[in-house]
A and B are shown apart, each in its own frame.
Chain A
Amino acid sequence: MNDFQNIKVIACFLLFAIVFRATAVASEIDPPFKSSSYFDYDCDLCSCSTGSGSFGFGTLNNSNFIGLRYINQSFESRNGVFSNSPVSKETFNTYQLWAQIPVSNKFYVTANLPYQDLNRTFQGDSETINGIGDASVIAWFKLPFYKKDSNFEMKDMEREVSGHSLQFGLGIKLPTGNFEEALADNVNPGFQVGTGSFDGIFSLGYNFGVDKIGVNTILTYYLKGENKNEYQFGNQFSYSAKVYSVFSGERYAVMPFLGLSGDVYNKIKQYNETLSNTEGDIVNTSIGAEVPYKKCILGFSYTLPVSQDLFGGNVKSKNRLSVYLNYAL
Chain B
Amino acid sequence: MKILKLSFALLLCAIISSCSNDDSGEDLTGQTGELIIKFDNGVGDQDFIFGTTYTKSNNESYQLETLKYLISNITLTDSEGNVYTYPYNDNIFIISEANANNAGEIYVTLNDVDAADYTEISFGIGIDQDRFALGADGQGDFLTTAEEEGMLWSWATGYRFTRLDGTYSSDIATDEALNIHMGSVGTAIDNYREVTLTLPNTVLVREDSSPQIHIVADIALLFDGNTSVSFDEGYSQVHVDETTTGVIANNAMEMFSVHHIHND
Contacts and interface: CB of A to CB of B under 8 A. Distances in A.
Interface of A: 37-38, 40, 79-86, 103-104, 107, 123, 139, 170-172, 181-182, 185, 197-200, 223, 225-226, 270-273, 275-277
Given A181-B264, A197-B18, 14 more contacts: A37-B105, A81-B42, A81-B259, A82-B40, A84-B46, A85-B103, A139-B11, A172-B11, A198-B14, A198-B15, A226-B21, A270-B263, A272-B23, A276-B260
A112 to B, nearest CB: 16
Contacts of A171: 11
Interface of B is mostly: mixed
Contacts of A199: 18
B21 A272 contact: yes
Contacts, number: 81
A170 B18 contact: no
13 contacts: A37-B102, A80-B103, A80-B104, A81-B40, A81-B216, A83-B46, A85-B47, A86-B103, A170-B11, A185-B264, A270-B263, A271-B201, A273-B201
Nearest to B211: A185
Nearest to A276: B200
A253 to B, nearest CB: 33
Given A172-B14, A172-B15, A79 B103 contact: yes
A37 B101 contact: yes
Contact of A104 (B1, B102, B216, B263): B1
Interface in B3-22: 4, 7-8, 11, 14-15, 18-19, 21
Contacts of A172: 11, 14-15
A123 B101 CA distance: 13
A84 B101 CA distance: 16
A103 B204 CA distance: 49
B157 interface: no
B262 interface: yes
Given A103-B4, A123-B102, A171-B11, A83 B45 contact: yes
Interface string B99-129: 0011111000000000000000000000000
Contact of A170 (B1, B8, B45, B263): B8
B68 interface: no
B105 to A, nearest CB: 6
Contacts of B260: 40, 81, 275-277
A81 B216 CA distance: 8
B66 interface: no
Given A37-B102, A270-B263, A80 B4 contact: no
